[in-house]
Amino acid sequence: MPDQAEAGSALRPLDAMLREAASRFPGHDAIRFAGRGWTYAALDRLVDQAAAGLQSLGAVRGTRIGLCLPNTPYAVIFFFAALRLGAVVVNFNPLYVERELAHQIADSGTEIMVTIDLALVLPKLLAVAANTDLRLVVCPICGALPPGKSLLFRLFRRRDLARAPASDRIVSYAALMRRGDCPMPVAVSPVAPGDLAVLQYTGGTTGIPKAAELTHANLVANCEQVVSGMRDLREGAERVLGVLPLFHVFAMTSVMNLAVRTAATMILMPRFALPDLLRTIASERPTVFPAVPTIYAALVEEASRRRVDLRSIRLCVSGGAPLPTETRQRFMALTGCDLMEGYGLSETSPVVSFTPPDMPYKEGSAGVAVPGTTIEIRSPEPPHALLPAGERGEICIRGPQVMRGYWQRPDETAQSFVEGALRTGDIGYLDADGYLFLVDRIKDIIIAGGYNIYPRVIEEALYQHPEVKEAVVIGVPDRYRGQAPKAFVTLREGGAATAEVLRAFLGDYLSKIELPREIEIRETLPKTLIGKLSKKALLEEASGGPGALPPAPPLGPEAPDPFT
Ligand code: AMP
């Protein structure tokens, strides 16, 4: 377990950063979305109103409030509103299917869900709410658009909208904000830095979905660590591009929290589409651009075809997945931007390391530990002895950004710490100068475009099919996303399911990105000496031989969203 005295040190609650930005830079844009702006003063007022509105729904300190939203101003307003009243934010991926949402709602004890009137999202939550006590706050997408775009959306994209039925458990954004017209003092007792702020779902090292408990102190500490590591972030002057989804821990900190901490403008994009991204960069002139390697790779392809003007950007930060050296070098040569790689995970709020601008870059390295953080390399086997520089082992982390544990999972929490340091499930080494190099993972995850996919979740979904006898899922190389899931299955006697049948079946259990790219049905599957299904044998098979890599998917303007 981490040292809570350290984690809960004299830091302030997260939303104090917003109050400070609003008092120092009231007229400065906090958010830009679809060409509209919200100043820090306006955002702070909206957060007060939303907090009071949530209180009128019964939210108190500790209430779990879910956010199931694409990147829109609502995501920022309700994130800080929940925190301001001492409630706990639960981040939801709006692309999850109904079952996944229902599971996360039940596991976290989410009582109120803030969502949006989009056909891709709302019907799933209405279905969950019909069988539970969940209350919904429904925000209108058109309400966040400038008048012209709002009218066009209503006229031409009607099918993308969904309506909520009248119900005493569903409240519209407008009604909620009216309740909050006269904000009451929102916090009964002041929010303390050691209070729980966010439940961030992850598979951790075991692949079982669970929530990392991140406190206000964890999240504030991580902002401070990044700010002091970056050295030259200018208060009130940066413009941070938010194309990564804010429900993902990387964007939550490196886009939203960091922007608020430095009174920067966050430029929010609801999804990744290359033409929109290029237009937004041209019109909004961001200076800081955090993204995953897949997005930089798509930009490289585009920049090699035509001139891509990224001159406004000073700082690109890649995280979430390994950044291929070739992508970094080509990106920098074509765009003239510096591209630094960072490393982190949900359990560490997330930033652990990156290369500060004033330190030499070492090829293939994820940089050095951010201030106040210790990276230890330990033997992956008990008793997890400390290993010297140059030796490979499990990366373990100590620092004020390390979670206090997994929500309601004391056993998994206990297994995840060794002598107070967090076990990451990643394998790496430190060189003599303290630079971290990642070489492998012992945890069973597939990283597709920076998004984690847990083979175990897919395997369990496959086992729900009555004809499936055995199922193994591995990550296979994918030229665009880095990795993609592939399933191997054997069927019970008499079973006649085809790959297409199984794929259609999985659609109810898994979101699009989790669906295996390929399902191979075999007579038998390789086993280990003790008779367990052998992923290792299948991985070896998949990595060898010609044709292991599938044909490259189209890049450039057609590059698919890495998160869908
Ligand atoms: P998550 O908890 O979803 O943020 O996923 C964290 C995991 O992503 C880490 O434990 C690593 O396995 C992986 N990861 C994050 N950053 C990097 C990186 N720069 N290089 C390689 N893997 C990374």
Looking up residue 525, the CATH number of its domain turns out to be 3.30.300.30
CA of 135 to the centre of ligand 1 (A): 33
Q: What is the pLDDT of residue 556?
A: 44
From 296, 318, 340, give the residue that closes a domain: 318
Q: Which residue has the tokens 């000073």?
A: 314
> Distances from the Cα of 157 to the Cαs of 144, 150, 151, 324, in angstroms?
15, 10, 10, 38
Indicate whether 341 belongs to any domain. no
Look at the chain and report how many structural domains it folds into: 2
Indicate whether 552 belongs to any domain. no
CA of 425 to the centre of ligand 1 (A): 10
CA of 347 to the centre of ligand 1 (A): 11
Q: Write the pLDDT tens digit of every residue in 409-429.
A: 999 999 999 999 999 999 999
Mutate to test the pocket of ligand 1, among 91, 426, 437 (most ligand atoms within 8 A of CB): 426
> Distances from the Cα of 435 to the Cαs of 320, 359, 362, 363, 479, in angstroms?
18, 11, 8, 10, 28
Q: At residue 552, does pLDDT exceed 50?
A: no
Q: What is the pLDDT of residue 312?
A: 92
Indicate whether 515 belongs to any domain. yes
Nearest CA to ligand 1 atom 4: 345
The closest-lying atom of ligand 1 relative to the alpha carbon of residue 350 is: 4
Pocket of ligand 1 (CB under 6 A): 202, 249, 319-322, 341, 343-346, 350, 366, 424, 426, 438, 441, 447, 452
Mutate to test the pocket of ligand 1, among 244, 345, 370, 446 (most ligand atoms within 8 A of CB): 345
Q: Write the pLDDT tens digit of every residue in 277-336.
A: 999 999 999 999 999 998 998 888 888 888 888 889 989 999 988 888 888 999 998 888
For residues 125 and 264, membership in a common domain is answered with yes
Residue 542 pLDDT grade (very low, low, confident, very high; cuts 50, 70, 90): confident
CA of 391 to the centre of ligand 1 (A): 20
d(CA 454, CA 440): 16
Residue 351 pLDDT grade (very low, low, confident, very high; cuts 50, 70, 90): very high
Indicate whether 351 belongs to any domain. no
Residue 182 pLDDT grade (very low, low, confident, very high; cuts 50, 70, 90): low
| Segment among 58-72, 167-181, 264-278, 337-351 with least mean pLDDT | 167-181
| Pairing of β 374-378 and β 351-354 | unpaired
Mutate to test the pocket of ligand 1, among 206, 435, 452 (most ligand atoms within 8 A of CB): 452
Residue 3 pLDDT grade (very low, low, confident, very high; cuts 50, 70, 90): very low
Evaluate whether 443 touches 203 at the Cβ level (below 8 Å): yes
What's the average model confidence in pLDDT over 483-505?
95
pLDDT cut 70: percent of the chain above it? 93
The set of residues, in sequence order, having a beta carbon less than 8 Å from that of 486 and lying 6+ positions away, is: 473, 474, 475, 476, 516, 517, 518, 519, 520, 542
Residue 209 pLDDT grade (very low, low, confident, very high; cuts 50, 70, 90): confident
Nearest one of 70, 432, 440, 5 to 242, comparing CA atoms: 70
Single pTM value for the model:
0.90
Q: What CATH number is given to the structural domain containing 282?
A: 3.40.50.12780
Nearest CA to ligand 1 atom 20: 322
Indicate whether 382 belongs to any domain. no
Residue 74 pLDDT grade (very low, low, confident, very high; cuts 50, 70, 90): very high
pLDDT cut 90: percent of the chain above it? 71
CA angle, 550 then 289 then 284, to 5°: 115
Q: What is the pLDDT of residue 555?
A: 44
Q: At residue 550, does pLDDT exceed 50?
A: no
The closest-lying atom of ligand 1 relative to the alpha carbon of residue 451 is: 3
For residues 60 and 200, membership in a common domain is answered with yes
Residue 535 pLDDT grade (very low, low, confident, very high; cuts 50, 70, 90): confident
Nearest one of 29, 39, 82 to 240, comparing CA atoms: 29
Which conformational region is residue 86 in: left (phi greater than 0), alpha (psi within -120 to 50 degrees), or beta? Answer: left
Average pLDDT, the chain: 90
Nearest one of 296, 280, 317 to 449, comparing CA atoms: 296
The secondary structure of residue 141, as a DSSP letter, is G
Indicate whether 537 belongs to any domain. yes
Mutate to test the pocket of ligand 1, among 246, 254, 343, 370 (most ligand atoms within 8 A of CB): 343
Indicate whether 401 belongs to any domain. no
Residue 8 pLDDT grade (very low, low, confident, very high; cuts 50, 70, 90): very low
Q: At residue 344, does pLDDT exceed 50?
A: yes
Q: What is the pLDDT of residue 472?
A: 92
Indicate whether 440 belongs to any domain. no
Q: Which residue has the tokens 């991985």?
A: 539
Q: What is the pLDDT of residue 160?
A: 94
User: Range of 535's domain?
Assistant: 446-543
Q: At residue 546, does pLDDT exceed 60?
A: no
What's the average model confidence in pLDDT over 504-532?
90
Q: Write the pLDDT tens digit of every residue in 85-105.
A: 999 999 999 999 999 999 999
Nearest one of 62, 3, 46 to 221, comparing CA atoms: 3
